[in-house]
Structures are given as structure tokens and as C-alpha cells.
Amino acid sequence: MKGLFAKFKAGLQKTHSKLVHEIKRILSRSPRLDATTLEELEQALLAADFGVATTQEIVEAVRRAYETQGPAGLDVAAIAEREVARILASPRTELRKAAHMTTVVSLVGVNGTGKTTTAAKLAHAVRQQGHTALLAACDTFRAAAIEQLKLWGQRLGVEVVAGAYGADPAAVAHDAVAAARARGIDYVFLDTAGRLHTKHNLMQELQKVHRVVGRQVPGAPHEVLLVVDAPTGMNALQQAREFHKAVPLTGLVVTKLDGTSKGGMVVAIQRELGVPVKFIGLGEQPDDLQPFDPEQFARALFAES
């Protein structure tokens, strides 16, 4: 875990160094809170994809806290960090494990965010914790989606259940869950096709997949993880709203945080929908997945190190 922690920090350092730099600049130049400082804090938050509404609320909270705490209190960055960590805090960030049965985890999201890669990474992670895993190739539409997942399965030594292209994704999910139950496998990860939240028929297709596995295993899917990628801006909130309406989400995965994108839009998502971030993706390798830690995330956003 130590190596992974270092990786997490390295990833986030790259990710947030610009923002940290900006905040530090604000503080070193103007430790007191004045209109300019607030405006610069606002710009730093906007640049991190927090969005106008969330940015205004955080700036307002920082202003109030600063004014009430007196001159000896926390600085602007510390207050902002505390505010973000508060919004992102959740007691439910572990991957659920259904008692005495196969746990079904569904990866959902718009096109190209990292669902397939995250399914593979999660299978790898639970196996490292001593569990067994199976991958279900429920994307029967996109070119080579099945080959992609099968290659991941080969690489990780994880079994992949797949159908033919054009097959009903719900049938593939059904077969995969049946296979997993027959063999007493702990986790099934459903790699679903990318779909835009605006496409009604595709959202219905996803509902059907979930309905079918729900009839096989009580409470399945036990996890419905929306995969959003960090470069996405305000549309991420709309994605989360619509997916949550169609297939109630249990968590978020934010991928591609190894780049310079800051992923600030998850703050608005968690604030509005109460869906916690559970994992973050920091690269294309099996190990490049980390449990989400709100305080660490907020600290990396606003603190010096």
C-alpha cells in the first residue's frame, strides 16, 4: 500500500500543483481577506471545474468563516480545504460486499470515460484482497469491446464471460452472474457499454441489465458505479443526475486524475446527489486505482504538500 500511496500523492501533486500554486500566490501576496483575494480564490475554483454555483458557495463559506473566526484563525486555503473535505466526506466509500453471496458491481457511464479499464482494475484489486472475481463483457456494441475486456482478463488471470456482438447485454450479464454463483465467485464486474445519458433507449437497456441480475441475486447490482473522467466539465453533473434517475448510483469513480485535470465537478455531484466518490483512477495500469480519501483529496487541492 505504501507504493500506492506514493503514487496517489504523485498523481494528485501533478494534478493540483497549478491550483496549489495559485492559492499560495494569493496567500503570500495577500494574507488578509479582501475583495481581490476572494476573486482570485473564485478563479482558482472555477479553473478546477467546481462550477459557478459550487464555487460561489465555497467562496461565501470561506468569507463567512474567515470573518467570524477573528484574526488568529485559519487562512483562506485551510478554510477552503475544510469546506471541500466536508462536502466530500462520506462513511460509505468502501466497495460493498454482499454477505454469503456473489456481489454484483456494475460500471456505468458515458462513452470513453474508463469503465472497461476500471472494471479490470477493480477485479485486480479485490483479488489482491483475497477474493475471487469475474468480468462480464456486457458491451456487445462497440468495436472490439469484447476483445478489450478479454485481453484484460488474460493479463490479470481473471475469467471473462462474453457473448456475441449484438447479443442482449442483459443475457450476457445473466450468464456471467449464473456462472459466478455456480462457482462461488465473490465478485462479478459488469462492463457495460458507454452511453450518453440523453439516450432513452440505451438507458432502458441498462435498466434491463440491472433488473435481470436483480432477479438472480437479492439486492443486485449491489454497487452501481458511475465512471466520470476528470477532464469532464459541468456536463458531469448532468450525467450523474440522469444516470442516478435511471439506475440509482451507489458511488462514483473519477478516472484520468493522473493528468492535470482537477476533477472539481465531483464536489457539485456529491453535494447535490449525495453519491460518494469511491475510487480514483490514476493511470492505465492495473494498480492505478485508489480508494478515494476526501481529506487527502481536499488537502492535495488546497494544502502546501
Partner 1 sequence: MFESLTSKLQNAFRHLRGMGKLTEANMADALREVRIALLDADVHYKVARDFLDRVKAKALGQEVIQSVQPGQQVIKIIYDELVALLGTIHADLDLGGNPASILMVGLHGSGKTTTSGKLARLLHKQGRQPLLVAADVYRPAAMDQLETLGRQLGIPTYAPRGEKDVLAIARGALDFARSHNRNVLIFDTAGRLQIDEPLVQELVRLRDLVHPREILLVLDAATGQEAVNVATHFDQALHITGAILTKLDGDARGGAALSFRAVVGKPIKFVGTGEKLDDLEPFHPERMASRILGMGDIVSLVEKA
Ligand X SMILES: Nc1nc2c(ncn2[C@@H]2O[C@H](COP(=O)(O)OP(=O)(O)OP(=O)(O)O)[C@@H](O)[C@H]2O)c(=O)[nH]1
Torsion angle of the four alpha carbons 233, 256, 115, 6, in this order, in degrees rounded to the nearest 10: -140
Return the half-sphere exposure (C-beta side, CA atoms, 13 A cut-off) of residue 86.
10
H/E element, 134: strand 133-137
Task: Say whether 251 counts as a known binding-site residue.
Answer: no
For 247, residues 6+ apart whose C-beta sits below 8 A from its C-beta are 106, 108, 203, 206, 207, 210, 224
Cα separation, 197 vs 239, in Å, equals 6
Cβ–Cβ under 8 Å, residues 113 and 188: no
Instruction: Work out which of 31, 144, 207, 219 binds partner 1, going by CB under 8 A.
Output: 144
Q: State the minimum distance, in angstroms, from the CB of residue 132 to ligand X.
A: 22
Q: Interface residues for ligand X in 53-112 (CB under 6 A)?
A: 109, 111-112
Binding characters for partner 1, 215-254, by CB under 8 A (x = yes):
--------------xxxxxxxx-xx---------------
Sign of CA dihedral 30, 33, 34, 39: positive
Q: Choose, by CB under 8 A, the member of 8, 152, 187, 297 that binds partner 1.
A: 152
List binders of partner 1 among 8-47 (CB under 8 A).
14, 43, 46-47
Residues 185-224 binding ligand X (CB under 6 A) are: 193-194, 196
Q: Which helix (H) or strand (E) holds 118?
A: helix 115-128
By CB under 5 A, what part of segment 109-128 binds Mg ion? 115-116
Minimum distance from residue 159 beta carbon to partner 1 (Å): 16
Question: Any known ligand binding at 250?
Answer: no
| Annotated binding-site positions for GTP | 109-116, 191-195, 255-258
Q: Which residues bind partner 1 (CB under 8 A)?
A: 14, 43, 46-49, 51-52, 110-114, 141-144, 147-148, 150-152, 155, 196-199, 229-236, 238-239, 256, 258-262, 265, 284
